[in-house]
Every structure is written in C-alpha cells, then in structure tokens.
Structure 1
Amino acid sequence: MQQDGNGTLMSTQGDGEEAAVKTEKTGRRTKSARPTIRDVSRLAGVSRMTVSRVMSEPERVLPETRDRVLRAIADLGYVPDKAAGSLSSRRTGFIALILPTLTNANFSTVAHGLTEVLREADYHLLIAYTGYDKAEEERQLASLLARRPEAIILTGAAHSRAASRMLLSAEIPVLEAADLSGRPFQHAVGFSNYEVGRVAARHLISRGWRRIGAVGAVQDGQVGDYRGEERIRGFEDELRLSGLSTDLVLRHGSAPVSYAHGAAAISILLQREPAIEAVFAVSDLSAVGVIMECQRRGIDVPASLSVMGFGDFEIGRSINPPLTTIHVDFHALGRRAGAILLDVLAGDSEDEAPHVVDVGLTLIERDSVGRKG
C-alpha cells in the first residue's frame, strides 16, 4: 500500500497486462515491469485460460498442472489485475472507509473489525482520512468514489451538502459509523455521543459534585470534532436539568484533542475557578492531560479534583490513578458494520430497509473519580 497526494491509502497494483515492458536490445521484461498472465502461462507451459482457471476454479485443474501454475505465480510475484473485469461486472472488491484521523486507536479498531469481516468475502478496505475537516471529506469522498467502491463507510453523521449530493448520486450502500443521529443518511452503526455526555454528567453529579466542568474542542467553521461537541452538548443539558451551572464547560483549541489540550484546558479552568471539583473530557487523551497537569501542580486526583474521560484508551487504564471513562466496543462496531454491508451487497439494496444499530456504551468506574463527603 502507498499514500497518494490526497491522503488516500491505495493499492500499488499496476495497470494490467500492458505493464509488461520489453527492452529493445534483449526483448526481455525490465525488472520494474509488472508480471502478466502471459508471463505466468509461458513459465508454466500452459495456456492463459488454464492460468485463469487455476486462480478462479483450482479444483477443476489437474493437481500437477495446478502446482506448476502456482509455482510460476510465486516465482514471478504475479498479482492478477481485477480492474479490467470490474469494468463489465461492476464489482471492484473495494469498500471505502473515511476516518477523521489514523492516529486514534478507536478508529483503528473499527478498521480492524471491518477488515476481519470483509476479507472473508474477499473485500478490501480503501481508507482515507479527513483531519476533522468537512472540506477535506468532500475531496476524499470524490477521490474514493472515482475508484468505484461497492460501498462506503463514513465516520459520523455530519456531512456538507456537497458530500451528501455525492453520496446520493453514487448509488452504492452508505453506512455511517461511530455516531447515531436522529436521521441517518442510510445505514448506521454506532452510539449516541449526546448520551455519552449525559451519562458522564449524571455520574459526576451522583458522586456529590456541584462545581463541575468539561473540556472539548472549538468548532471552527469546516474543521471540528462534531462527535465530541455532541458529548459536550449532552453534558451541558444534564447539568441544566440538575440545576447546575454550565459556566465551567470549556471549548478550547482545535480537534483532535490531545494530552496537551487537556493540560492547557485544565489550566484555564483552574484560573477561572480554583475550587472546581470535577471535570469531564471528551476524550481519554485530554483527560490524561488533565491528570498529568494536576500532578505537576500538586493537585491530588481524585481527592481534590475528579477526572473522567471517554474512549477507554489503554493509557487511561495504565496511569495512576486509573481513569474513569465511558467504553464503547469499537471492534464489535466495526464487525457489525461489515456484516451489514455484506448482507446489503448480497441482496437487492433498493428493497433493503435501512439498518440502524446502537452498540451501546458502558460506564467504567476507576479511581480518578472520588465521592464528596
């Protein structure tokens, strides 16, 4: 695999049989030329039809002939070119996946779960990332659709009008992952980020805390973590329902959030309200940054400040104190998304009712949240 200039991960496979280049002096293939089915047939001493049959229906070929062809394939490093066949069959074998980032472990886990399911049906992922930028999502979507995937998976449910128009005209299954909105585009597998915020607020309130804050990123035009913003919105609403102030809910910096984001955000909140009692961060990464900054300042977590995150990242389980968080099974989410797409692709998608699956969420109580009194 290699990355193109647009940030899309793509196959380095060549362009077919015509890639076999011969030098004028020797008549031999150059070292850089991609081996072709003709090369395999010559080395194995069989017809090209026999080579094709070995790859598609090996049980119909005599064992001795099949072994000779497979040895030639291995010796030459031959990879069949599926593009030509897909022009007439409309099957490319690719499913596109657009992620906001490649560095977030939970998004990587979604991709792993998807791959496990799709590879069993001989489908492969074509992955792009957007950097949380809607305009970049448009560019990556156009690039991916030009490669004619059989389905596309997008992370989240917030898309520009241009992106929505491209999805409508693509006439392929579309699945939104890691977010559930009231009106999914088509199929959706995820959870309510709004409910994540509400669960976090209820937990901190149940521990007796009243001066409660939260930290997330600023939504800056086209660039923003809309899933994180939904968590903040749910958190604020739950505070209001309990008669508590939202003055300590802070939107700071740009997505994606990080350890540095958490450290900077808690510094601002401590300056605003030194007696703050509890903080929810929209990501464990930011929450860990909060804890590290508290430790640098000599602030005891959780005795002086309770800290809570989202995502159940490994570092949150490993720090001291271990981080209270909200867990979502992103691996199961990826596998479920893959299974739904395989079902849709195997049937008549026009008659297929939309699949909307809530994978749920789980509160993981650890030592970073204390109890008042």
Structure 2
Amino acid sequence: MSTAPPSRVRMTDVAREAGVARVTVSRVISAPESVAPATRAAVEAAIARLGFVPNLNAGTLASSRSRIVGALVPTLSNAWFADTMDGLSATLSAAGYQLLLGQTRYDTQEEERLVDAFIGRRVDAMVLTGTQHASGVRAKLQRAGIPVVECWDLSDSPIDTVVGFSNTAAGEAVARHLVARGCRRLGFIGAREHRSSQRLQGFHETAKALGCAEVAVQRVQPPSSVDDGARGLEALMAAQPALDGLFCSNDTLALGSLMACRRNGWAVPERIAVAGFSDLPVAAASVPALTTVRIESRALGERIGALLQQRLRGEPASAQRVHDVGFRLVVRESA
C-alpha cells in the first residue's frame, strides 16, 4: 500500500506556529538582525520544530539578493587562512549570510575562474586573499558592482577595500630583531608566492641596510609543510655553515626548522636563532618556544565581515578603503 508523502511545511505554517505574521518569518530568514531577539528566537524555534527549509531561490528572485558571500583562499590546509574564514563566516552568519568558499591553490588563473563562477552564482560580495590577481579580475569585479574586500595584504589601489597588514614591514621587523640580538649571517625559507616574497623583500633590504651579508634563500612550493622547513634549513646550512639567524615565512616552516636543529645538534638560539610568521597555537608550545610575527587571523576575518555587513545593509562605502590591522613581533626563546 502506497503512502502519500508528507505535505511540505510552508512559511505560513511557521508563522502560525510562532504566533507572528508571515512577513516576520520572512525577515528572520532574510534579515535576522532587523528582528527583535525574542521574536527571532520564537520564529527560529518554530522553524526547528516544524523542520521548515526556506526556498532561497524564491527569495533571491524577489530581492535580487542571494545572501551569499564568496571568498577565495589559497588553501584551507593552512590554519591562518582557515581562522580568517572562520571569523568571517561567524560574523556574516549572524547577519543571515552564508559563506561560499573556493581554493585557488596559489594559482591566479584558478582564482579568475572561481571569480567568474561566483559572479555567475550572483554572490552579494566577494573576499579575495591577497592583492595580486590575473589581469581580468579587477575589471570583472568592478563591473559586477558588488562589495569586494582583499585581505592578508595592503595596497594603495585596492579593487574596492583592503583589510590586512604590510608583509614587507613584517620582514623588516624580523631582520631588525635578529640583527639586534647579534645575528649577522641570515637565511630565509619561504614559499614561492607573492606575500612570502614581500616578507623576503623587507627582510633582505633591512638586513643589507644593517650591514649583514647577503641573505641565503630557500624557496618551496606552496602550501609549505614541516618537512619543507626541515629540508630547507639543512640545505641552507650545507651551503652556508656560518648561518646564525633564520626567518621562515610561516610557522609551519619554522617548526620544521626547529626539528632539523634538534636532529643535527644545532642549539637554538645559541647556534642559530629561528623566527616564524603567523603565531600558530603550537608556536608557544614548541621547544624552544618560537619567536614569530603574530597576525590576529580570526579577528581579521571578523573585521572584514563587519565591513561587509555595513555595505550589504546599503550603507555608503567609507572613504577609508585601506584598513591596516597591523602585526606584532612575539619574542620567545628561539630568537
């Protein structure tokens, strides 16, 4: 004997269950921040009890809004990018927006393909990691007429808005610190990507200005690994046995370098000082504890989310297009 399928729960059913008007249910779904907390809680409880799933396509057609923000990151295998996206997602979710993620794999052409796909999906805004893009990306996003935030870098001429910090200045700060503690023969291990290159530029130019010898460099393919850091330092020490200071473009590489030091009997920081970048939770727990550049990755995502919320509410774009969240050198035992 066949059984008729259960009837689909409608928005009017939710309104009746919650004791509110249908338009209130619609507002809870599309703009929850506009509804009083007690009313919103009652509607959300009714939605949960009834198992209501809103027809987002219908809302999109009616409002020309998808309530989706697209975000592109090089990779989610690196905790610092994942933390930024977590902060962004949490902030947007509170305003009724969902985050659609894409991974570029450090490939500008893949980034452009994803930008095309996300614009085609009619996202309401875009977040891009970095400020270096394929030639067509800027024009495509400007024609789309949606808010765009670039992050994890700074630029004097962003597509729309940029939230980040100076990677060059971070490299400068590490060079000054290593030289101040007596290091004169410096090395660098970093990925072959733009932000890492900026850190190297600041590190190299500052070391040179402070009278150090040429910086020895090892580059690795991103995303970098602990093993890359270990192999990179061993290669540097084989070529430059007098190396006494090392800057790694991220903490993953720096932690691998510390492992190589322990394996080869190179005392840290007496024989060689080691510094990283990003301040992963494990940095403070490593032995020795890692000196590193701290980036508040999750707070960076929250800042982006707050700026996008303002724009998506229809508020005019701020005259301030460049938001420098800064960084901090955290000095621990390794350097």
Could you tell me the TM-score, scaled by structure 1's length? 0.79
Distance 2:190 2:63 in 1: 47
Match of 1:55 among 14, 22, 25: 25
Identity percentage over the alignment? 36
Matched residue, 1:361: 327
- Contact 1:212–1:248 at 8 Å: present in 2 too? yes
Match of 2:213 among 229, 238, 245: 245
Q: Report the CA distance shift for 1:264/1:45 in structure 2 as closer, same or farther (over 3 A).
A: closer
- Contact 1:340–1:355 at 8 Å: present in 2 too? no
Deviation at 1:91, TM superposition (A): 1.6
Alignment of 1:148-163 (within 5 A): 148-163=122-137
Q: Report the CA distance shift for 1:109/1:85 in structure 2 as closer, same or farther (over 3 A).
A: same
Query: Larger radius of gyration, structure 1 or 2?
Result: 1
- Contact 1:202–1:238 at 8 Å: present in 2 too? yes
Match of 1:104 among 57, 60, 78: 78
Matched residue, 1:197: 171
Of 234-243 and 306-315, more deviation after overlay is shown by: 234-243
- Give every structure 1 segment of 4 or more consecutive aligned residues whose post-TM-superposition deviation is greater than 6 Å: 44-47, 67-70
Q: Report the CA distance shift for 1:145/1:36 in structure 2 as closer, same or farther (over 3 A).
A: farther
Unaligned 5+ segments in structure 1 are: 1-24, 59-66, 219-224
Distance 1:148 1:316 in 2: 40
Distance 1:176 1:292 in 2: 34
Distance 2:15 2:233 in 1: 72
Q: Aligned residue pairs: how many?
A: 322
- Contact 1:35–1:77 at 8 Å: present in 2 too? no
Deviation per CA, 1:218-261, whole angstroms, max 9, x where unpaired? 3xxxxxx211111011111112212322241222x201111111
- Contact 2:189–2:249 at 8 Å: present in 1 too? yes
Deviation at 1:70, TM superposition (A): 6.6
Secondary structure at the counterpart of residue 81 of structure 2: helix
Distance 2:206 2:238 in 1: 24
Match of 2:65 among 73, 77, 91: 91
Alignment of 1:42-191 (within 5 A): 52-53=22-23, 55-56=25-26, 73-74=47-48, 77-191=51-165
- Contact 1:37–1:51 at 8 Å: present in 2 too? no
Matched residue, 1:13: none
Match of 1:226 among 174, 194, 199: 194
Deviation per CA, 1:75-123, whole angstroms, max 9, x where unpaired? 6522101222212311221111111111222112212222232222212
Q: Report the CA distance shift for 1:108/1:304 in structure 2 as closer, same or farther (over 3 A).
A: same
Q: Report the CA distance shift for 1:68/1:79 in structure 2 as closer, same or farther (over 3 A).
A: closer
Secondary structure at the counterpart of residue 309 of structure 1: strand
Distance 1:80 1:86 in 2: 11
> Residue type of the partner of 2:144?
A
Distance 1:203 1:54 in 2: 57
Matched residue, 1:64: none
Of 83-92 and 184-193, more deviation after overlay is shown by: 83-92
Secondary structure at the counterpart of residue 325 of structure 1: strand
- Contact 1:54–1:69 at 8 Å: present in 2 too? no
- Contact 2:156–2:322 at 8 Å: present in 1 too? no
Distance 2:320 2:15 in 1: 51
Deviation per CA, 1:254-281, whole angstroms, max 9, x where unpaired? 0111111111111110110111111000
Secondary structure at the counterpart of residue 100 of structure 2: strand
